[in-house]
Amino acid sequence: MKQLWLFSQINKDLQRVENDLTQFVGTDYPILQDSAVHLLAAGGKRLRPAFTLLAGKFYGYPLEKLIPVAMALELIHMATLVHDDVVDASMTRRGRPTVKAKWGNIVSVQTGDYLLSKSLMLISKIDNPEVSRILAEVSVEMCQGEIQQIKCSFDVEQNLKQYYYRIKRKTALLISACCRLGGLVSGAPRRQVWALGAYGHSLGMAFQIVDDVLDMTAKASEFGKPIGGDVHQGIMTLPMILALKLSTDPAPLKALLGKVDKTDDEVAETIDLIKATGAIDRSMHLVDLYVLKAKRHLQELPSVPTRKALEELAEFIRIRKF
C-alpha cells in the first residue's frame, strides 16, 4: 500500500484496515484465496478507506464503527476493479499482473463477486439501515455507469453531459459515499453529512478527470497501467470530447477515435492530436474548478486539523501522477 504523508493522522488505522482486509477475505478455497490476496497485495492508495476515516475525525472518531464501513467500501471498490479488468482485457494494474492475467476471466468474475459478497457481510453487521441504503443505491448507480460506458464505446458523438453522467457513477458517487458514511456513523449533524458528501462528489469528479488526463500524459511506470488505454478501448474521456470541439479540423481525430482496432502508432498519433488542441489544459482547468468547489464545501465543517488535511488531499488529487 502506498502511504501518503497526507494520511499522517490515520496511517496506523489504515494499516489496521489493511490487515483486517487480508484476514477477512480468507477462504478455504485456494484459487479464490490466492486471487483475492493477490488483488489486495497490489495495494493502491486506499483513498476510500482514508476518506471514511478522515470524515470520522470531525466527530469523535468512533474507530470500531468506522473500520467495518471503511473495509466494506474498499471491498466494493476492489470488486469493481477486478470486473473492470475483465471488461477492459487489462493484463496489468499498478505494475502487477491482474487477476485476469494470472487466473483468467472466470476466476476474475468470481473473485469480484466474492469480494462484493464479503462487503455485504460487513454491511449487515452495521447497526444503521441508512448505511446499507446508501451503499445499495451507490452500487446500483455504479453498475449503470459502467453499462453506459460499454454502450458508448467508440461513439465520437458523445457530449459533456454524457461524460459527466458516466464519471459521476463510475467514480464520484463511491468517494462521496465514503465521506458521507464516515460522518454518518460518527454522529455528524445531517447538514454536515451532506457537506462531506458534496466534498467527496466534487473531489471524485476531479479524480476521474485527472485519471483521464494521466492516461495520455503520465509515465506508465508511475501510473501503474499502460498509457493510452482509453484510446485503445474507445472510452470517450474529457480530453477527447474537448479536443473534437477545439480542433479546427476534427475529421482526422474523429476517424482515429472511432476506429475499433487501433495500432500502437495510431494510439500515439491520436494522443498527439488531442494534445495539440489544448484539450489537456482545458481539462485540468475543470479539475481546478472541482477542487475549488470541494474545498468550499469543507468550510461548513468544524475548523479542526482534519479539515486542513482534506484541503491538502484535494490539492494532491489535482497534481498526482499515479
Residue 243 burial (10 A CB sphere; 0-12, 13-18, 19+): buried
Using only the alpha carbons of the chain, give its radius of gyration: 20
Number of CB atoms found within 10 A of residue 90's CB: 20
Domain limits for position 184: 5-319
Task: Go through the chain and tell me how many residues it has.
Answer: 322
Instruction: Give CA–CA dist 188/194, Å, rounded.
Output: 10
The pLDDT-based confidence of 93 (bands split at 50, 70, 90) is: confident
Which CATH number does the domain housing residue 44 bear?
1.10.600.10
The total number of structural domains in the chain stands at: 1
Tell me the pLDDT tens digit for each residue of 149-196: 889 999 999 999 999 999 999 999 999 999 999 999 999 999 999 999
Q: Report how far residue 101's alpha carbon sits from residue 9's, in angstroms, rounded to the nearest whole number.
A: 36
Segments in 156-228 forming alpha helices (H): 160-167, 173-184, 190-217, 220-223
Helix (H, G, I), strand (E, B) or coil at 96: strand
Q: Which pLDDT value is given to residue 43?
A: 67
Query: Residues 6 or more apart from 1 whose CB is under 8 A from it?
Result: 14, 15, 18, 43, 44, 45, 46
Using DSSP, state whether 97 is helix, strand or coil.
strand
10 Å CB burial of residue 159 (0-12, 13-18, 19+) is exposed
Residue-wise pLDDT tens digits, 196-223? 999 999 999 999 999 999 999 988 777 7
Is residue 225 scored above 90 in pLDDT?
A: no
Check whether 144 has a pLDDT greater than 70. Answer: yes
Instruction: Give the ranges where 228-304 is alpha helix by DSSP (H).
Output: 229-233, 238-246, 251-258, 264-276, 279-298
pLDDT at residue 58 above 60? yes
What pLDDT was estimated at residue 5? 63
Distance CA 313, CA 287 (A): 14
Q: Which of 38, 10, 55 is nearest to 294 (CA)?
A: 55
Q: What is the pLDDT of residues 239-256, one digit of tens each?
A: 999 999 999 999 999 999
Which pLDDT tens digit goes with each residue over 23-54? 999 998 889 999 998 988 876 778 999 999 99
What global pTM score does this model have?
0.92
**Phi/psi of residue 97, nearest 5 degrees:** -60, 140
What's the pLDDT score for residue 1? Answer: 40
Between 225 and 197, the more confident residue is 197
